[in-house]
Amino acid sequence: MEAGTPQAVKLEDLHVPGQLSGRKHILSILVENKPGVLARVAGLFSRRGFNIDTLAVGPTDDPSVSRITLTLDGAVHPIDQVTKQLHKLVNVLKIRDMEPEETVAREMALFKVSSAVENRAEIIQFAEIFRAKIVDVARRTMTIEVTGSADKIEAFERMVRPHGLVEMVRTGEIAIGRGHD
Amino acid sequence: MESLQAEGVKDVFGIPGGANLPTYDALYDADFRHVQVRHEQGGGHAAEGYAKASGRVGVAFATSGPGATNLVTAIADAMMDSTPTVFITGQVRTELIGTDGFQEADILGATLPFVKHSFAVTDPRQIPEYVHEAFHVASTGRPGPVLLDIPQDLSRADIDYEPRTEPVELPGYKPSTEGNIKQIRIAAKALASARRPIFYTGGGVINGNASEELRELGGSDRFPVTSTLMGLGAFPASHEHWLGMLGMHGTWTANQAMDKADLIVAIGARFDDRITGKLDEFAPHAKVIHIDIDPAEISKNVGAHIPIVGDVKQVLPKLTREYRALQTDSSRLDEWWSALNGWQEAHPLYYDPGKDGEIKPQFMIEALRRASQGDAIITSDVGQHQMWTAQYFGFEKPRRWINSGGLGTMGFGLPSAIGAKVACPGEEVVCVAGDGSLIMNVQELATCVSEQIPVKVFLMNNGYMGMVRQWQELFWDRRYSSVDMGSSPDWVKLAEAFGAKGMRCDDSADLEEQMLAALEHDGPVLLDVRVAREENCYPMIPPGSAARDMVEAPRAVR
């Protein structure tokens, strides 16, 4: 008898592993840098009814390869099915479902906040607390750059929203695996 | 052209136009057959029929714009049924792309959801490479359609063709074929402990050329076998383990067996909704072994307890060997077989034979089986006639049953018969058509005549879009909305106008004889068979219901 194969298999002992993880997933996808590749990935998501929460695309250290980082909700979508469908795209080279504990994830956001004289100090203070940068100041607005996890950006949004959020731009998360010693 | 020849292409189907003139000019001297179809959709389906009959990649050409968009239905059809096909479209000249030029259509964008892969040529030197990659992707792994879009100016560029010596390497495309041996061993042991097992096989067995291997596995014990519409012929209908087709219009026994089974072995099948019915109530007692080359099919619709990703041709012999090694006592299946045999006896396929002389559609298929001695490639359109053919023909061999299963494309039968006949000129090819379907691609009769492709069209003519009428009768309170086809056309005259032989039959006593005459005629024939108009296709699992809610044909009181 070989290791790993049981002597006999009882049908009642067989189970299907759960499909929904219940948490947010970050998929890091390496794709060939060819025309239409983003349309293929995006089209697959819409066609299969998978909702993308965020999407970020950029070059890698190899000019023939691009990276797509996307986040989606594992409470709604079977991530395994999503990655298997993605793998069927010929231009998709590699997919990593990033382990939260093993991953550094960051997102950048720009907030344009209305800043009358009386609340300007408070907004500057928020920016300091969140280690954000003020990148533009005008007579009625201030623009603040925040970098961090999606949670941090959402927290900052909650703080400044009461002061009048004129506009917000977010990049979507990007992620990289932690180094190992 | 040289690249196509290097791929072993012998036949292509298509229509020329402005943007693919350079290709057609090269075709003038090329060493393969071009079948000039009359509509690009027909060319696409012909390529599919060619591939399904022969296992070789089917190829269709179309020009840009409307030529290309006319192919879309065939491309989507090939995707749903995993048919190895390569579609080569012309595109407007490079400098016109994006300008809404004459006959410009973004065919690559339009077909993204329907292709296994596609290539847009941007440099003439890519053409040979892309052609080889297209054939590789279309024909390996889970087969499917590949589109190659070539702008007119690039297809006329002169390049030096160098024959390819290296095998195709695509970094993002590596189908796994072998199957995990540990999983296979677990599957063999699960089979050994199953008391109510059933093999549920699909089109993957045919695409994977694994009919022999399936017969071996099925013969390794008294395993009952059922199959989807797409898998018919992989396991012989005359075999004592055969339960008939399953699903919406499958046999009572096959569907009951799925409902009561303790172990389902799904082989190259994908748990389509026409198989499962109401998903929550599908096979409530069964564990599932799922063998498929496409990992994304595993646990897509029905969770797999033992997934095995691999090519059925490689996996099945291993499973047979492992199962035989266990030397399991087959008497554990006695009780199961007595239940199965009981269902078979109590609930056979049944139809009311009707009045004297009346042709029941089911009788027509039985007559076809006798007239052809069961030895013909049968294509069909989509609808009642398709289901009756699947139920009553009794397919014994693979690649003898060619139809549109996944997409359900009406008008598929005639052009796919053309493709099958071109692929297998020595075989009898019969298209069992519906009158609602045939009219959708009837222009291809001209192709049959001018290209001397002697297919036989046996038209099951009830003057209705019969399946839709059946649904309106059963589920929409008999409100027959836009399903009556009227008395037009006169099919015999239509066939004759195309230059084919037209025949008509309205008496069951003459039917077989007329079919024989049609089969013996050496050109294309259209035989218009006037069948009972309002016959319903039974048994039937009403849409969205469970297998145990199957409805049988009402028994005539005599």
B303 vs A contacts (CB less than 8 Å): 16, 19
Burial of B308 from C-beta contacts in 10 A (0-12 / 13-18 / 19+):
buried
Task: Please indicate whether, in this complex, the C-beta atoms of B299 and A11 are within 8 angstroms of each other.
Answer: no
Convert the pLDDT of each residue in B318-327 to its tens digit: 999 999 999 9
* Residue of chain B whose alpha carbon sits nearest to that of A15: B305
Domains defined along chain A, listed by start: 19-97 (3.30.70.260), 103-177 (3.30.70.1150)
| Complex ipTM more than 0.85, yes or no | yes
Is the domain of B408 the same as that of B483?
yes
Question: Residue B78 belongs to a domain with what CATH number?
Answer: 3.40.50.970
Q: Model confidence over B332-384: pLDDT tens digits?
A: 999 999 999 999 999 999 999 999 899 999 999 999 999 999 999 999 999 99
Residue B393 belongs to domain spanning: 361-537
| Residue closest to B364 by CA, chosen among B196, B165, B531 | B531
Scored b (16 or more CB within 10 A) or e, B525-544 reads bbbbbbbbeebbbbbbbeee
B112, pLDDT greater than 80: yes
Least CB–CB distance from A11: residue in B109, B112, B194: B194
Statement to judge: residues B270 and B406 lie in one domain: no
**Predicted pLDDT at B41:** 98
Quote the CA–CA distance of B482 and A54 in Å, as a whole number.
Answer: 46
Nearest alpha carbon to residue A43 among B344, B45, B521, B115: B115
User: Considering CB atoms only, which of A32, A43, A81 is closest to B113?
Assistant: A43
Chain B residues in contact with A80 by the CB 8 A cut-off are: 299
Q: Are residues B300 and B414 in the same domain?
A: no
Measured between beta carbons, which residues in chain B are less than 8 angstroms from residue A19? 299, 303
Which class for B276: exposed (0-12), middle (13-18), buried (19 or more C-beta within 10 A)? buried
Q: Which of A32, A84, A91 sits opposite B296 (nearest CB)?
A: A84
B143-168: pLDDT as tens digits: 999 999 999 999 888 787 777 778 88
Report, as an integer, the average pLDDT of B435-452. Answer: 97
Q: What is the CATH number of the domain that holds B240?
A: 3.40.50.1220
Nearest to B300 among A10, A81, A89 (CB): A81
pTM: 0.94
Q: Is residue B389 part of a domain?
A: yes
C-alpha distances in Å from residue A40, one per residue of A111, A151, B274: 31, 29, 28
Count of domains forming chain B: 3
Which of B169, B185, B293, B306 to probe the A interface (max A CBs under 10 A)?
Answer: B185
User: Binning pLDDT at 50, 70 and 90, where does residue A5 land?
Assistant: low
Q: Check whether residue B135 and residue B90 sit in a common domain.
A: yes
Render pLDDT for B493-542 as a digit per residue (tens, 0 to 9): 999 999 999 999 999 999 999 999 999 999 999 999 999 999 999 999 99
Nearest CA in chain B to A48: B113
Tokens of A152: 């941090």
Please give the residue of chain A at the shortest CA–CA distance from B195. A11
Q: Which residues contact A49 (CB under 8 A, 6 or more apart)?
A: none
Instruction: Tell whether B428 and B295 lie within a shared domain.
Output: no
Instruction: Tell me, yes or no, whether B281 and B409 share the same domain.
Output: no
